[in-house]
Structure 1
């Protein structure tokens, strides 16, 4: 099917109208999501990043800090030796699976991937830098945590895992070393990292490859037949350690530990458990249920009474309520008239972040996300709006919001879409952010954005001729030269801000 020439003028005219309608329809259906700007580069990474000291090392390679020479942004650089994977197709597939999974994910408790490089000897993953260290170090400093602190961390872990499982992603190596914090505080934002052993799974099927770390590995993984609930076992072990400072299954040798895991017997007899609530112990037992068919799901664990009761204090509830109401107001008022505006906002929200602003939006997002699946449904938004404007008005309001804010046409408001609609205009559309976004689209560094460049950056989701992308340029091309310069680009974006400095 396509827009083909006709022998008759009448048919030619009809075909032309149909062709234009198709292009407009394609433009409206263009899916813009958080992973659209994650690109692959070849060459020397040090041309674009100042490389800093190592943060960690493993058999695959190492992780270093880095600073973008273009933006000054601090990042983490995970470098994988090509020699360890190029001769093993399974290992190579595993690496690219990690890249694909990180591109797909859009959740506040999952590390962001910005881009990846390939040079002669290494693959490099460029991710967000998380400054507070590992959850393991946090536990070691304190030996064990209060139930309130432990529940706040566990809620964040489970939220990320609910999101993964609902998108058919299994992590397979959850442990405190793969959970990073943005500060050394019980109120820190937690991020799940290292998806190197993760996999896209088919529901109601089993995996057989043995992955995981000795203390956290589920008994069914040792048997070589398991599903996504292996992650829940790992979460149960993590919670046990958070509350007691020691693992539930230990021994002098690996074999002894494996035997204890296989038996699956959990003890709460040590003195430290005397002060831990029965509710916490109940959740651990449900997560460390030996039979995975009887084991609690990630969603059930997230909504367990111990998590719900302990993870929020009164001050946080009050703060979340204020932020939630402001976010709902911003979401209602959001308007992106052009597809290109949506694309630019997506780049800014997914690649550039303000930690203080992000934390407030994360809390508001999770307050609205009642089922914890990492996205906002129409029903969840209607439930929130009806408190203020009534049920029928809420239905109409949410239908309008979905049309404006659901940029990837998923039928939900994803986390990045929520950030776009609810962030402060002065933070999102500051001069520095707009210039970075312009450079991301100006692939040949000519100082102008062409239809060809838009197709290269945004065209992966849709098959179309270049004139579709020219139409996207023409919508905002003030001087009519068929390209977008920096002044036209900024003017297009700043049209979204009203006289009071709010996004419209």
Structure 2
């Protein structure tokens, strides 16, 4: 299928992380989740290994036959007693979301026997497991900051997780710099709908007092996040051990243990933050946006992953042809649909100091200065080359364009798919329609350099011209 065969397969998750959260079985007349219909799942994915079975499905690793991307797929048998309306509540919500700290759903596939939910592949284990023996505040705060970025985004979309726990705060992979991901959205709710939650499916040690009364809001997630943070930093639960009813009584009265030595040994900022989140009255708790401004994150929320070599590469990056630049932007946009480069995402977040999704000229200057490069005289030139939208701001996709290893990317077969190439040729009229902002005269000057056959562009010739137009190609 023109696909690479050397991608590493992540190790299987431990069985306790494989269990899919049960979904309450309520009758509902809402429409089904839109699906792509296939005869078999193997038309699109190569099954690599089974991960385990849960209450509402089986999980396994698979490889997309076209892109070689590794995915986690959940299979749900149509003959089961539960029906798609409830099973896919989680998926319907996740399909509307797009944030680096929230698990991604790519597609839903339907065959005659089963539904298949194609998910982002996450195999780094829980945050709690990773830091079981290393609960240093300065290390953990970076990940907690990311957790609140995800929750703040979720709440801005009018959605409450409703069942956040340390099992659902996980890491993307087993590398030294994984990305935090929030998972477990089976009980997530839209605030506009305010549906009742079946409490038997709650992870009650993390549930807020109002959640135990059948009420919830964004502040319910804040309470749960406070329990997660308390447990991570103290390596203990905030309520006395005992029966379920005893713990629920302690939660209901917000009788949190703030007096044990593990808690009082935390920094004053950490204590203050946790106490503010574990107020009995949800109105007294801060919002996620407010929490992100708390002093506890001050020294460690922003690790600077950008190095001198990275900044030098950006400084030397340039695409000499306008047409080539527009085509490269198109390629980057297609790449972003199938994968995120978490290293480049980390670089971008170092630039984006105010976290608005765009880095200004001043923010770029600040980071360059921190790594010892004074580019004050060259900043306008730099911005012109990496700001593909001409807005005076740098986006994540701009960094992908400037930092991707294009020598390697051009060797892959993905470009044929992006350009809908057939028999090694791309339809020139189709390409012109897809690439905006280019005059016909500019197209003529660009295409005259590429081998063509009856209005078709030779894909290898196109790649060669694109390579020639990129400076400092690696």
Which residue among 412, 424, 427 is the counterpart of 2:404? Answer: 424
2:124 corresponds in structure 1 to: 132
1:494 aligns with 2:474: no
2:29 corresponds in structure 1 to: none
1:111 aligns with 2:103: yes
Counterparts of 1:97 and 1:116 in 2: how far apart (Å)?
13
Q: How does 1:311-350 map to 2 (within 5 A)?
A: 311=301, 317=304, 319-320=305-306, 322=308, 325-326=311-312, 329=315, 337=323, 339-350=326-337
CA contact (8 A) 1:68 1:74 kept: yes
Q: TM-score, normalised by structure 1?
A: 0.69
- Using a 3 Å threshold, how does the CA distance of structure 1 residues 185 and 223 change in structure 2: closer, same or farther? same
> Residue 284 of structure 1: CA displacement?
0.8
CA contact (8 A) 1:182 1:188 kept: yes
2:338 corresponds in structure 1 to: 351
Counterparts of 2:452 and 2:423 in 1: how far apart (Å)?
17
> Residue 241 of structure 1: CA displacement?
1.1
Q: How does 1:36-47 map to 2 (within 5 A)?
A: 40=36, 42-47=38-43
CA contact (8 A) 2:361 2:379 kept: no
- Using a 3 Å threshold, how does the CA distance of structure 1 residues 278 and 194 change in structure 2: closer, same or farther? same
Counterparts of 1:252 and 1:452 in 2: how far apart (Å)?
71
Counterparts of 1:491 and 1:198 in 2: how far apart (Å)?
48
Counterparts of 1:452 and 1:287 in 2: how far apart (Å)?
57
1:62 corresponds in structure 2 to: 58
Counterparts of 1:51 and 1:481 in 2: how far apart (Å)?
40
Any idea what the Cα deviations from partners look like across 1:180-228, whole Å, max 9, x if unmatched?
Answer: 32455775432233444445556xxx83432752222222333344332
1:404 corresponds in structure 2 to: 389
> Residue 69 of structure 1: CA displacement?
4.2
CA contact (8 A) 1:162 1:298 kept: yes
Counterparts of 1:385 and 1:430 in 2: how far apart (Å)?
30
- Using a 3 Å threshold, how does the CA distance of structure 1 residues 285 and 481 change in structure 2: closer, same or farther? farther
Q: How does 1:395-474 map to 2 (within 5 A)?
A: 402=387, 404=389, 414-415=395-396, 417-426=397-406, 429-432=409-412, 435-442=413-420, 447-449=424-426
Greater fraction of residues in helix: 1
Counterparts of 1:154 and 1:281 in 2: how far apart (Å)?
14
1:238 corresponds in structure 2 to: 228
Aligned CA RMSD, in angstroms, stands at: 4.4
CA contact (8 A) 2:387 2:395 kept: no
Counterparts of 1:276 and 1:160 in 2: how far apart (Å)?
25
1:207 aligns with 2:179: no
CA contact (8 A) 1:287 1:295 kept: yes
Which residue among 283, 290, 297 is the counterpart of 2:287? Answer: 297
> Residue 323 of structure 1: CA displacement?
6.8
Counterparts of 1:336 and 1:239 in 2: how far apart (Å)?
49
Number of residue-to-residue matches in the alignment? 427
CA contact (8 A) 1:451 1:473 kept: no
CA contact (8 A) 1:248 1:266 kept: yes
Which runs of 5 or more structure 1 residues have no equivalent in the other structure? 1-37, 463-470
2:248 corresponds in structure 1 to: 258
> Residue 449 of structure 1: CA displacement?
4.8
Counterparts of 1:399 and 1:197 in 2: how far apart (Å)?
46
Q: How does 1:90-101 map to 2 (within 5 A)?
A: 91-101=87-97
3-state secondary structure, aligned to 1:286: helix
| Larger RCO, structure (CA 8 Å, separation 6 or more) | 1
CA contact (8 A) 1:175 1:234 kept: yes
Counterparts of 2:464 and 2:432 in 1: how far apart (Å)?
22
> Residue 263 of structure 1: CA displacement?
1.5
Any idea what the Cα deviations from partners look like across 1:237-295, whole Å, max 9, x if unmatched?
Answer: 11111112222246544443333222222212223224211211111112222322221
> Residue 424 of structure 1: CA displacement?
3.3
CA contact (8 A) 1:341 1:492 kept: no
CA contact (8 A) 2:106 2:118 kept: yes
CA contact (8 A) 1:132 1:183 kept: yes
> Residue 309 of structure 1: CA displacement?
2.0
Counterparts of 1:327 and 1:169 in 2: how far apart (Å)?
40
CA contact (8 A) 1:53 1:64 kept: yes
> Residue 328 of structure 1: CA displacement?
5.9
Counterparts of 1:473 and 1:223 in 2: how far apart (Å)?
68
Which runs of 5 or more structure 2 residues have no equivalent in the other structure? 1-33, 437-441
Any idea what the Cα deviations from partners look like across 1:454-483, whole Å, max 9, x if unmatched?
Answer: 899x89xx9xxxxxxxx9999868626345
1:364 corresponds in structure 2 to: 347
CA contact (8 A) 2:58 2:74 kept: yes
Any idea what the Cα deviations from partners look like across 1:315-339, whole Å, max 9, x if unmatched?
Answer: x54x546477457647887986365
> Residue 419 of structure 1: CA displacement?
4.0
2:213 corresponds in structure 1 to: 223
1:74 aligns with 2:52: no
Counterparts of 2:459 and 2:205 in 1: how far apart (Å)?
54
CA contact (8 A) 2:56 2:87 kept: no
